[in-house]
């Protein structure tokens, strides 16, 4: 498949759920007359946001200077299962009514700032409409990922049928908080070649593992090492926002890590692990012993054979510096993207406003066909395509003889697990190089855990079949499960895989595990890029994807996460 991108026509977006219109909210029945699996989790489309007129500020002369108090609505304004975003003068809060009780907390998801009022409220938590993170409505704690922070909660009381919220002004402004963490109680020289917990990799799996250990009261030494030269950053944004700096993408600062006694060693490559002596050997000769080891090295670009590997204008997108160089070199120039992976296509879309031309080359006639199906793949791209088999790089010379001018070339042809350093370690790898782990993220070696893109792990919804799910969100979950296992608090994976991609100002959302789907049920309008697609195996919905159909993907994730099944007939 190959082609040059043209910018799609703007699409008027109206957020509504035609699927939900068919459901009878009153009796919770699906069209076949049986109880709908969606009945207990409700999107919050019924109520408008609270306006400034809804908030009557009370006198604050007797209140502490850093707090604000406001009457935000009448007690009957909200029904059970409804949410409203309300203004307190110094900021906004999310007011929730469930089982007759009012609660209030931050109104923005700490991950990317999504308005939670448009999310899904169910059984004591709110699920983000954009990427599926969940927050407990009583505590504000994050219960499912992505994201690192929790939400602030605010005091609510009812006086004379008025709902009154009292909130800290700073919390209203920040809209997020970190869970309390323990400090390291051991007196350790930073040059000491021993760490109670050693984490290889500073992506979401490694970072969540370290933070969970501290949140759960772990007081011994934690060292996290990475080949990167930056503190942990938001890698998925690299392909979507090519001009963002490492500082802008940062997840945690060095000060934050130091304040919580999480030591970070940057530009450190591990070359070997000796499980008998429980030690890790680095490329620079440093040797560090461990008591518990967590491997979260992620993936590396899939090797390709072509001429011109070492030229300066050919990139594998791995770092903020790579992204910045691609954006700079492509400005008003000719860009060629090799490969139709999500990363490759996101880069292509990001360059359409910058480059003179953007050409994409791949071996599939339709991008994303395996993951999303042919109809959805064609709808997302909305470009004229033709087939180009493989390539060799000069300018860019295809085997067909066609020559594409290339001032910058980005290789986005997939990835493989970064586990080459483990081949002689005794840690079990499968035939493709993935680390195999059990339900607690432990490898075949006692005290050695792994998570993120590098693992094959038992997935409960598929009868614990071992799968690899290289999602940013799933890596967070692996890190938490591994940390709890290290502390003797073994817990199993309880999440619904959630993935997103952004192109041409449109966002694709995906939840579930659709590998091996045999049918796709599409509702909405593919041509207008406003649709939801349900992927089924036999008679059961296993995953869902959408564009401009929020919060349907989060709603399906909520149903699947509760352990219920959605039958094909429920969505037909």
In angstroms, the CA 504 to CA 346 distance is 9
What is the CATH number that goes with domain 314-413?
3.50.50.60
DSSP conformation letters of 107-151: SB-TTT--BGGGSEEETTEEE-TTT--EEETTT--EEESS-S-B-
Instruction: Enter the tokens of residue 563.
Output: 């352990």
Q: Which CATH class is domain 67-174?
A: mainly beta
* Closest listed residue to residue 422, CA positions, set 274, 267, 282: 274
Ranges of each domain in the chain? 67-174, 194-301+417-487, 314-413, 498-570
Amino acid 37: pLDDT: 58
Residue 380, both tokens: 């997302």
φ, ψ dihedrals at 570, nearest 5°: -65, -30
Q: CA 206 to CA 197: how far, in whole Å?
A: 11
Number of residues assigned to the chain: 572
Q: What is the DSSP secondary structure assignment for residue 563, as one 8-state letter?
A: T
Are the C-beta atoms of residues 50 and 165 closer than 8 Å to each other? no
> What CA–CA distances, in Å, run from 284 to 267, 280, 288, 294?
10, 12, 12, 20
Of 446, 448, 444, the closest CA to residue 428 belongs to 444
d(CA 568, CA 20): 15
pLDDT of residue 54: 38
pLDDT score at 543:
97
414-417, Cβ contacts within 8 angstroms, sequence gap of 24 or more: 414/301, 414/302, 414/339, 414/341, 415/299, 415/300, 415/301, 415/302, 415/341, 415/453, 415/470, 416/299, 416/300, 416/301, 416/302, 416/303, 417/297, 417/298, 417/299, 417/300, 417/453, 417/454
What superfamily does domain 498-570 belong to in CATH?
FAD/NAD-linked reductase, C-terminal dimerisation domain (3.30.390.30)
Regions of the chain short of the pLDDT cut 70: 1-64, 306-310, 382-399
Q: Tell me: the pLDDT tens digits for 59-102?
A: 433 456 899 999 999 999 999 999 999 999 999 999 999 999 99
Tokens 């998801």, residue located: 109
194-301+417-487 and 314-413 agree in CATH topology: yes
Strand partners, 535: 520, 543
Q: Give the strand order in the sheet containing 2-4.
A: 2-4, 357-361, 334-338, 408-411, 314-316
Cα(414)–Cα(552) distance, rounded to whole angstroms? Answer: 29
Whole-angstrom distance, CA of residue 24 vs CA of residue 253: 48
Predicted local confidence at residue 402, as pLDDT: 74
User: What pLDDT is stored for residue 405 in this prediction?
Assistant: 79
- pLDDT on residue 390: 37
Q: Give me the pLDDT at residue 476, please.
A: 98
Confidence at residue 412, expressed as pLDDT on a 0 to 100 scale:
85
- Residue 279 DSSP SS3: strand
Cα–Cα distance between 168 and 149 in angstroms, integer? 17
Q: Which of 177, 103, 87, 162 is nearest to 95 (CA)?
A: 103
- Which CATH superfamily does the domain covering 194-301+417-487 fall into? FAD/NAD(P)-binding domain (3.50.50.60)
Cis before 146? omega within 30: yes
CB neighbours of residue 98 within 10 Å = 20
| Location of structure tokens 């949410």 | 83
Q: What pLDDT shows up at residue 379?
A: 86
Using CA atoms, how far apart are residues 355 and 564, in angstroms rounded to an integer? 47
CB 306 within 8 A of CB 315: no
Which pLDDT value is given to residue 307?
65
């Amino acid at each position: 498949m190959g082609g040059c991108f043209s910018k799609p026509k703007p699409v008027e977006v109206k957020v509504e759920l035609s699927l939900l219109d068919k459901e009878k909210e009153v009796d919770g029945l699906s069209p076949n007359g049986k109880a709908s699996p969606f009945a207990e989790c409700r999107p919050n489309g019924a109520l408008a946001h609270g306006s400034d007129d809804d908030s009557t500020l009370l006198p604050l002369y007797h209140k502490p200077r850093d707090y604000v108090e406001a009457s935000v609505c009448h007690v009957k304004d909200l029904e059970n299962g409804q949410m409203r975003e309300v203004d307190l003068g110094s900021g906004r809060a999310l007011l929730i009514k469930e089982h007759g009780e009012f609660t209030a907390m931050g109104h923005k998801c700490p991950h990317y700032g999504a308005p939670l009022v448009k999310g899904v409220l169910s059984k004591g938590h709110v699920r983000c409409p954009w990427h599926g993170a969940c927050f407990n409505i009583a505590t504000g704690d994050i219960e499912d990922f992505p994201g690192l922070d929790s939400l602030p909660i605010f005091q609510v009381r009812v006086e004379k049928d008025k709902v009154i919220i009292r909130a800290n002004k700073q919390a209203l402004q920040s809209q997020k908080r970190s869970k309390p963490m323990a400090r390291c109680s051991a007196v350790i020289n930073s040059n000491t070649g021993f760490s109670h917990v050693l984490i290889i990799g500073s992506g979401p799996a490694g970072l969540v593992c370290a933070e969970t250990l501290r949140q759960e009261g772990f007081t011994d030494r934690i060292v996290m090492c990475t080949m990167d030269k930056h503190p942990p950053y938001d890698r998925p944004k690299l392909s979507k926002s090519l001009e963002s700096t490492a500082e802008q993408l940062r997840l945690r600062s060095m000060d934050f890590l130091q304040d919580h006694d999480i030591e970070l060693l940057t530009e450190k490559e591990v070359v070997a692990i000796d499980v008998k002596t429980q030690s890790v050997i680095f490329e620079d000769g440093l040797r560090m012993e461990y008591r518990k080891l967590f491997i979260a090295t992620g993936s590396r670009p899939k090797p390709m054979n072509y001429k011109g590997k070492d030229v300066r204008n050919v990139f594998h997108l791995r770092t903020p510096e790579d992204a910045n160089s691609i954006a700079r070199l492509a400005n008003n120039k000719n860009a060629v993207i090799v490969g139709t992976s999500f990363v490759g296509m996101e880069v292509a879309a990001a360059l359409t406003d910058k480059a003179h031309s953007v050409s994409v080359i791949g071996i599939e006639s339709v991008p994303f066909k395996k993951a999303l199906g042919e109809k959805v793949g064609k709808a997302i791209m909305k470009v004229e395509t033709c087939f180009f088999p493989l390539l060799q790089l000069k300018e860019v010379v295809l085997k067909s003889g066609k020559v594409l001018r290339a001032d910058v070339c980005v290789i986005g042809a997939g990835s493989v697990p970064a586990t080459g350093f483990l081949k002689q370690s005794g840690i079990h790898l499968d035939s493709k190089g993935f680390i195999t782990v059990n339900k607690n993220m432990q490898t075949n070696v006692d005290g050695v855990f792994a998570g993120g893109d590098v693992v094959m792990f038992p997935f409960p919804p598929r009868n614990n079949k071992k799968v690899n799910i290289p999602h940013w969100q799933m890596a967070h979950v692996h890190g938490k499960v591994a940390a709890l296992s290290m502390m003797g608090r073994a817990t199993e994976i309880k999440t619904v895989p959630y993935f997103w991609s952004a192109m041409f100002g449109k966002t694709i959302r995906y939840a579930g595990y659709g590998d091996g789907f045999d049918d796709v049920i599409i509702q909405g309008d593919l041509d207008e890029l406003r649709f939801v697609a349900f992927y089924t195996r036999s008679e059961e919905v296993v995953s869902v994807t959408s564009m401009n159909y929020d919060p349907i993907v989060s709603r399906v994730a909520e149903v699947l996460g509760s352990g219920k099944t959605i039958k094909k007939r429920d969505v037909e």
